[in-house]
């Protein structure tokens, strides 16, 4: 056995582990496989006009969601959205989704139907079909797997790897809401645990809670880009946090970047709640809060005018040559190196569950 076998997963993290798996499968056996491991979805060449996109995601109880504050209907909706978002991140249209569930003895038929009501609402929203799944038991906990298939015109497919120096960095919607929503829910859970009769206070936080529980894949933006006849040079969906996901684009594209704090789209309620109730710097929340499922993409500079003052899209910076690094310029003009402090399923899980 080589020494390597003793490395803890925590030491290399989720992305390190994916790299290790990828190394075990260095060659492609099928010419249909255009891109396998390493982007938001796999890309398969099945016919002349379109590429097939395929992506799978797991959502596990206590790692990805807490049923204390997650209604099953919302969870069904979110499971489909998270997968549809990966198809959007390739600039594609989702077609069909499979949903696998592993249930423990707590679950009843109405509970499962409630979950699938959320799946149905999401399928209607994205105009896709539920095309299968798998149903099995679990010793303890709810485990959900969604696999989604989509398609994209060959001349519109967008990888993480196409960003070039001078390209503008764009983000859809606003960021940080889902993370602050999570903090609110965790706080209310703690209050409830200590005093079950205390009322849970959620008024005024509706936007934040919706961002956490009911994220929407930005298929509207993918369709708008097609109407504008714009193909981004690179794209990723923001699941782990802006900094982490922007660094994924920079690594895959072999480039650097600069982003400007003054440009960051942060909703006022996200800003206020982070700062006043959790004593958190809204910029940190913007950079590292995950789970918003917005899109991060780069476009050649000539398209810049299209997105100046756009209601759904904000230009936050620029791609640089690799040697210039990856950094943020703060409102006061200081330069900060970007670090990936986003969500990493293993670090979080292992930190909370490891023996001392």
CA atoms of 220 and 314, how far apart (whole Å): 15
Answer for which of 39, 61, 93, 216 binds ligand ADP (CB under 6 A) is 39
Among Mg ion, ligand ADP, none, residue 39 binds (CB under 5-8 Å by kind):
ligand ADP
Cβ neighbours of residue 268 under 8 Å, at least 6 residues apart?
none
Q: Choose one: 35-43, 60-68, 147-155, 322-330; the region binding ligand ADP (CB under 6 A).
A: 35-43
CA atoms of 310 and 58, how far apart (whole Å): 34
Q: Should residue 291 be labelled a site residue for Mg ion when binding is judged by CB under 5 A?
A: no
In order of 32, 65, 185, 201, 212, the CA distances from 69 in angstroms are 43, 8, 7, 12, 10
The distance of closest approach from Cβ of residue 115 to ligand ADP in the complex, given in angstroms and rounded to an integer, is: 21
Q: Should residue 239 be labelled a site residue for ligand ADP when binding is judged by CB under 6 A?
A: yes
Q: Choose one: 31-39, 95-103, 225-233, 273-281; the region binding ligand ADP (CB under 6 A).
A: 31-39
Q: Which of 320, 347, 327, 323 is nearest to 163 (CA)?
A: 320
Q: Should residue 292 be labelled a site residue for ligand ADP when binding is judged by CB under 6 A?
A: no
Among ligand ADP, Mg ion, none, residue 93 binds (CB under 5-8 Å by kind):
none
Taking CA 103 as the corner, what is the angle to CA 127 and CA 97, rounded to the nearest 5 degrees? 20
Among Mg ion, ligand ADP, none, residue 200 binds (CB under 5-8 Å by kind):
none
Closer CB to Mg ion, residue 72 or residue 171?
171
Q: Site for Mg ion (CB under 5 A): how many residues?
A: 3
Q: Should residue 240 be labelled a site residue for Mg ion when binding is judged by CB under 5 A?
A: no
Answer for which of 40, 167, 261, 291 binds Mg ion (CB under 5 A) is 40
Q: Should residue 174 be labelled a site residue for Mg ion when binding is judged by CB under 5 A?
A: no
Q: Choose one: 33-41, 90-98, 101-109, 291-299; the region binding Mg ion (CB under 5 A).
A: 33-41
DSSP 106-142: T--HHHHHHHHHHHHHHHHHHT-EEEEEEEEE-SSS-
The distance of closest approach from Cβ of residue 293 to Mg ion in the complex, given in angstroms and rounded to an integer, is: 9
CA torsion, points 246, 314, 42, 94, in degrees to nearest 10? Answer: 160
In order of 185, 210, 272, 323, the CA distances from 276 in angstroms are 16, 20, 6, 38
| Angle formed by the axes of helices 206-213 and 177-194, nearest 10° | 100
Task: Report yes or no: 197 and 66 within 8 Å, Cβ to Cβ.
Answer: no
Which long-range CB contacts under 8 A does 300-307 form with residues at least 24 apart? 300/164, 300/166, 300/167, 300/168, 300/233, 301/166, 301/167, 301/168, 303/168, 303/230, 304/168, 306/228, 306/230, 307/168, 307/170
Strand positions, DSSP E, 187-260: 234-238, 255-260
Closer CB to ligand ADP, residue 91 or residue 273?
91
Q: Should residue 24 be labelled a site residue for ligand ADP when binding is judged by CB under 6 A?
A: no
Q: Should residue 57 be labelled a site residue for ligand ADP when binding is judged by CB under 6 A?
A: yes
The distance of closest approach from Cβ of residue 152 to Mg ion in the complex, given in angstroms and rounded to an integer, is: 15
The distance of closest approach from Cβ of residue 51 to ligand ADP in the complex, given in angstroms and rounded to an integer, is: 15
The distance of closest approach from Cβ of residue 356 to ligand ADP in the complex, given in angstroms and rounded to an integer, is: 28
Answer for which of 237, 240, 294, 344 binds Mg ion (CB under 5 A) is 237
Q: Choose one: 32-40, 149-157, 288-296, 305-313; the region binding ligand ADP (CB under 6 A).
A: 32-40
Instruction: By CB under 5 A, name the binding residues for Mg ion.
Output: 40, 86, 237
Instruction: By CB under 6 A, name the binding residues for ligand ADP.
Output: 18, 21, 37-40, 57, 86, 239
């Amino acid at each position: 056995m080589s020494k390597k076998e003793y490395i803890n997963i925590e030491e290399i993290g989720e992305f390190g582990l994916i790299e290790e798996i990828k190394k075990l499968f260095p060659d492609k056996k099928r010419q249909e496989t255009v891109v396998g491991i390493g982007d938001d979805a796999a890309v398969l060449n099945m016919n002349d006009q379109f590429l097939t996109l395929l992506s799978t995601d797991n959502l596990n109880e206590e790692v990805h969601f807490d049923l204390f504050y997650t209604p099953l209907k919302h969870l069904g909706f979110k499971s489909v959205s998270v997968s549809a978002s990966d198809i959007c991140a390739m600039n594609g249209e989702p077609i069909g989704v499979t949903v696998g569930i592993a249930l423990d003895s707590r679950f009843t038929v109405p509970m499962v139907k409630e979950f699938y009501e959320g799946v149905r609402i999401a399928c209607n929203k994205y105009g896709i079909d539920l095309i299968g799944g798998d149903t099995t038991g679990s010793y303890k906990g709810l485990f959900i797997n969604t696999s989604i298939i989509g398609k994209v015109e060959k001349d519109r497919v967008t990888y993480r790897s196409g960003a070039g120096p001078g390209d503008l960095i764009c983000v859809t919607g606003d960021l940080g809401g889902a993370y602050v929503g999570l903090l609110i829910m965790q706080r209310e859970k703690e209050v409830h645990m200590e005093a079950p009769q205390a009322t849970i206070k959620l008024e005024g936080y509706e936007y934040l809670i919706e961002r956490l529980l009911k994220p929407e894949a930005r298929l509207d933006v993918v369709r708008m880009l097609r109407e504008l006849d714009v193909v981004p040079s690179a794209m990723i969906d923001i699941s782990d946090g802006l900094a982490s996901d922007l660094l994924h684009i920079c690594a895959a594209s072999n480039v650097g970047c600069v982003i400007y704090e003054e440009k960051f789209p942060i909703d006022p309620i996200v800003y206020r709640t982070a700062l006043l109730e959790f004593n958190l710097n809204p910029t940190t929340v913007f950079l590292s809060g995950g789970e918003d499922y917005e899109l991060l993409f780069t476009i050649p500079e000539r398209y810049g005018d299209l997105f100046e003052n756009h209601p759904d899209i904000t230009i936050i910076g620029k791609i640089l040559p690799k040697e210039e690094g990856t950094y943020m310029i703060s409102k006061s003009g200081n330069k900060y190196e970007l670090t990936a402090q986003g969500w990493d399923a293993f670090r979080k899980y292992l930190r909370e569950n490891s023996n001392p």
